[in-house]
């Protein structure tokens, strides 16, 4: 599956992406050698990357995705992977699953903490400071609580630092201190690397599946049924911009520079913007497989999704 595909009909409407015109960007299917659903993907640099599946598999590449190796590391659903550098990565999943390696994929250690929590996302500001978010169901009250686990010593210890009456869905970090967590209708914000969180209520009807922020104080979020909001003050106030979107669930959003953005979602939906997220064009002809996650290294991105789908864009 080495075909290179140029989405000329869509890309021609975009302006430059990091010095390269979007019309010149190539979309390339990579052979993951699996048919499992890939939930998350992350790269430590342009060559070393990892992905995880719903069936407990870890995929690893050392050549930018030209070839992928498959390791079964868990009997649990794995939902998130976060690369710290070209050797160190962390994996999280359901039933408290946490795994890590500091040697690429040669040795993966089980660091699971709390089997009552289903982890959904994780990220690191640096090699020492990171957070994992998840949900815990309280059978007595029939309520799901969102929770945040934090480390400040490179994952040697994880402590639960924040619990709220909302199901958490996604996480985004920026710089050395800033971070945001999305829930159903809320955005939690930290300015001290996850030690404390402040709640910003957006509305009970707003679903949030992913967010992206930049150093210019701009923010974007996407969610179910074409939900799309943008912010110009670091996520404290939001404008509903979703009317231009198809009625499909959107799962991830990434900007590779101040203007050039990508959204992926249900049924192979790929949306692209060349003007900072004001206008979007979409294409759903590249794949019919739902896409869940986008990894970025500079101006290179990788998309992943159902049935072992990995697409390299460069």
Cα-trace Rg, the chain: 18
Model confidence at 19: pLDDT above 60: no
- Closest Cα partner for 46 from 31, 66, 69, 28? 66
SS3 call for 75: coil
Lookup: tokens for 84: 């710290």
**Per-residue pLDDT reduced to its tens digit, 230-244:** 999 999 999 999 888
Model confidence at 100: pLDDT above 90: yes
**Residue that the structure tokens 């890590």 belong to:** 100
Domains of the chain, CATH where assigned: 4-313 (2.130.10.10)
Cβ atoms of residues 253 and 241 within 8 Å: no
The reported pLDDT for the residue numbered 23 is: 42
The reported pLDDT for the residue numbered 24 is: 60
Contacts of 96 (CB under 8 A, 6+ apart): 112, 113, 114, 115, 116, 117, 118, 119, 134
Cβ atoms of residues 130 and 149 within 8 Å: no
Model confidence at 14: pLDDT above 90: no
Cβ atoms of residues 230 and 222 within 8 Å: no
- Burial call 25-60: b when 16+ CB within 10 Å, e when fewer: bebbbbebebebbbbbbbbbeeebbbbbbbbbbbbb
Write phi, then psi, for 30 (nearest 5 degrees).
-105, 145
The reported pLDDT for the residue numbered 205 is: 83
Model confidence at 156: pLDDT above 70: yes
Lookup: tokens for 13: 């409407």
Taking the C-alpha atoms of residue 260 and residue 157, their distance in angstroms, rounded to an integer, is 38
Contacts of 278 (CB under 8 A, 6+ apart): none
Model confidence at 22: pLDDT above 60: no
Cβ atoms of residues 130 and 155 within 8 Å: yes
Confidence of residue 75 (pLDDT cuts 50, 70, 90): very high
| Upper half-sphere CA count for residue 111 (Cβ side, 13 Å) | 22
Confidence of residue 10 (pLDDT cuts 50, 70, 90): very low
Taking the C-alpha atoms of residue 30 and residue 283, their distance in angstroms, rounded to an integer, is 19
Average pLDDT over residues 120-147: 92
The reported pLDDT for the residue numbered 18 is: 47
Question: What's the chain's average pLDDT?
Answer: 90
- Closest Cα partner for 294 from 286, 304, 284? 304
Cβ atoms of residues 47 and 63 within 8 Å: yes
Confidence of residue 2 (pLDDT cuts 50, 70, 90): very low
**Per-residue pLDDT reduced to its tens digit, 270-285:** 999 999 999 998 887 8
**Per-residue pLDDT reduced to its tens digit, 292-307:** 999 999 889 999 999 9
SS3 call for 267: helix
Cβ atoms of residues 96 and 112 within 8 Å: yes
The reported pLDDT for the residue numbered 20 is: 52
Contacts of 244 (CB under 8 A, 6+ apart): 228, 279, 280
Full-model pTM: 0.92
Lookup: tokens for 308: 């072992």
Average pLDDT over residues 64-78: 96
Q: What is the DSSP letter of 10?
A: H
**Per-residue pLDDT reduced to its tens digit, 187-231:** 999 999 999 999 999 988 899 999 999 999 999 999 999 999 999
The reported pLDDT for the residue numbered 242 is: 87
**Residues in the chain, how many?**
314
> Angle CA(219)–CA(295)–CA(133) in degrees, nearest 5?
65
The reported pLDDT for the residue numbered 98 is: 96
Q: Residues 80, 243, 257, 200: is their CA dihedral positive or negative?
A: negative
């Amino acid at each position: 599956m080495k075909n290179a595909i140029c989405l000329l009909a869509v890309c021609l409407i975009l302006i430059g992406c990091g010095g390269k015109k979007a019309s010149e960007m190539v979309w390339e299917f990579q052979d993951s050698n699996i048919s499992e659903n890939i939930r998350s993907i992350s790269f430590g640099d342009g060559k070393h990357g990892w992905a995880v599946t719903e069936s407990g598999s870890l995929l690893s590449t050392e050549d930018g995705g030209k070839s992928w190796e498959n390791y079964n590391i868990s009997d649990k659903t794995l939902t998130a992977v976060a690369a710290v550098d070209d050797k160190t990565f962390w994996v999280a999943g359901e039933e408290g699953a946490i795994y890590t390696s500091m040697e690429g994929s040669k040795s993966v250690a089980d660091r699971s903490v709390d089997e009552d929590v289903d982890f959904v996302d994780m990220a690191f500001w640096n090699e020492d400071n990171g957070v994992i978010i998840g949900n815990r169901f309280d059978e007595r009250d029939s309520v799901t609580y969102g929770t945040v686990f934090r480390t400040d010593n490179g994952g040697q210890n994880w402590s639960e630092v924040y619990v709220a009456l909302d199901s958490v869905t996604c996480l985004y970090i920026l710089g050395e201190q800033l971070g945001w967590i999305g829930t159903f209708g809320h955005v939690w914000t930290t300015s001290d690397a996850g030690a404390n969180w402040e709640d910003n209520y957006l509305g009970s009807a707003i679903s949030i599946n992913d967010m992206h922020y930049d150093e210019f104080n701009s923010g974007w979020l996407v969610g179910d049924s074409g939900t799309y909001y943008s912010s110009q003050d670091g996520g404290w106030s939001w404008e509903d911009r979703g009317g231009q979107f198809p009625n499909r669930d959107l799962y991830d959003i990434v900007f590779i520079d101040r203007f050039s953005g990508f959204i992926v979602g249900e049924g192979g939906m790929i949306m692209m913007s060349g003007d900072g997220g004001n206008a979007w064009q979409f294409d759903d002809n590249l794949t019919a497989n739902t896409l869940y996650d986008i990894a970025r290294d500079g101006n290179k991105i990788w998309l992943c999704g159902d049935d072992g789908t990995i697409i390299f864009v460069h």
